[in-house]
Protein backbone atom coordinates (compact mmCIF):
# COMPACT_ATOMS: atom_id res chain seq x y z
CA UNK A 1 0.00 0.00 0.00
CA UNK A 2 1.35 3.39 -0.97
CA UNK A 3 1.52 6.13 1.63
CA UNK A 4 -0.51 9.31 1.31
CA UNK A 5 0.97 12.76 1.22
CA UNK A 6 -0.60 15.82 2.78
CA UNK A 7 -1.47 17.18 -0.66
CA UNK A 8 -3.42 13.97 -1.41
CA UNK A 9 -5.73 14.29 1.59
CA UNK A 10 -8.83 16.47 1.42
CA UNK A 11 -9.19 18.24 4.80
CA UNK A 12 -12.96 18.40 4.24
CA UNK A 13 -13.08 14.60 4.56
CA UNK A 14 -11.09 14.36 7.80
CA UNK A 15 -12.43 17.44 9.60
CA UNK A 16 -13.75 15.33 12.46
CA UNK A 17 -10.38 13.69 13.20
CA UNK A 18 -7.15 15.16 14.50
CA UNK A 19 -4.72 13.60 12.00
CA UNK A 20 -1.01 14.17 11.62
CA UNK A 21 1.26 13.56 8.63
CA UNK A 22 2.52 10.44 10.43
CA UNK A 23 -1.01 9.02 10.16
CA UNK A 24 -0.85 9.30 6.38
CA UNK A 25 1.89 6.64 6.38
CA UNK A 26 -0.19 4.18 8.40
CA UNK A 27 -1.85 1.49 6.27
CA UNK A 28 -4.98 1.48 8.45
CA UNK A 29 -5.38 5.22 7.97
CA UNK A 30 -4.87 4.93 4.22
CA UNK A 31 -7.57 2.25 3.99
CA UNK A 32 -9.90 4.28 6.20
CA UNK A 33 -9.31 7.41 4.11
CA UNK A 34 -9.90 5.59 0.81
CA UNK A 35 -13.15 4.21 2.22
CA UNK A 36 -14.19 7.69 3.28
CA UNK A 37 -13.34 9.08 -0.16
CA UNK A 38 -15.48 6.40 -1.82
CA UNK A 39 -18.35 7.13 0.56
CA UNK A 40 -18.21 10.93 0.75
CA UNK A 41 -15.57 12.20 -1.68
CA UNK A 42 -15.58 13.43 -5.23
CA UNK A 43 -13.91 12.27 -8.41
CA UNK A 44 -11.18 14.82 -7.72
CA UNK A 45 -10.50 13.15 -4.34
CA UNK A 46 -10.22 9.76 -6.05
CA UNK A 47 -7.81 11.07 -8.67
CA UNK A 48 -5.69 12.70 -5.92
CA UNK A 49 -5.18 9.26 -4.38
CA UNK A 50 -4.82 7.50 -7.72
CA UNK A 51 -7.05 4.90 -9.30
CA UNK A 52 -4.39 2.21 -8.93
CA UNK A 53 -4.18 2.68 -5.17
CA UNK A 54 -7.99 2.70 -4.84
CA UNK A 55 -8.19 -0.49 -6.90
CA UNK A 56 -5.53 -2.19 -4.75
CA UNK A 57 -7.43 -1.29 -1.58
CA UNK A 58 -10.85 -2.52 -2.71
CA UNK A 59 -10.44 -6.09 -1.46
CA UNK A 60 -9.58 -4.84 2.05
CA UNK A 61 -12.54 -2.45 2.31
CA UNK A 62 -16.11 -3.01 3.36
CA UNK A 63 -18.27 -0.93 1.06
CA UNK A 64 -22.02 -0.74 0.59
CA UNK A 65 -23.25 -2.71 -2.43
CA UNK A 66 -24.10 0.42 -4.44
CA UNK A 67 -20.51 1.69 -4.13
CA UNK A 68 -18.73 -1.64 -4.50
CA UNK A 69 -20.61 -2.53 -7.67
CA UNK A 70 -20.57 0.88 -9.32
CA 66 to the chain's CA centroid? 17
- The answer to whether residue 53 is domain-embedded is yes
Torsion of CA 54, 60, 61, 64, to 10 degrees: 110
In a domain, 42, yes or no: yes
Asked if residue 31 belongs to a domain, the reply is yes
In a domain, 36, yes or no: yes
Does 11 have pLDDT greater than 80? yes
| 69 falls within a domain | yes
How close are the terminal C-alpha atoms of the chain, in Å? 23
Identify the DSSP state of 20. -
Domain that holds residue 45: 25-70
60, part of any domain = yes
Higher pLDDT, 3 or 54: 54
C-alpha angle 52/13/1, rounded to 5°?
A: 30
Residue 7 lies in a domain: no
Q: Structurally, how many domains does the chain consist of?
A: 1
Model pTM? 0.83
Task: Encode pLDDT of 23-69 as tens digits.
Answer: 888 888 889 999 999 999 999 999 999 999 888 888 888 888 887 77
Amino acid sequence: MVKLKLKDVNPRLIWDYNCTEEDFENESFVLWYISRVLHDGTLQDITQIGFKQVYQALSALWLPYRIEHF
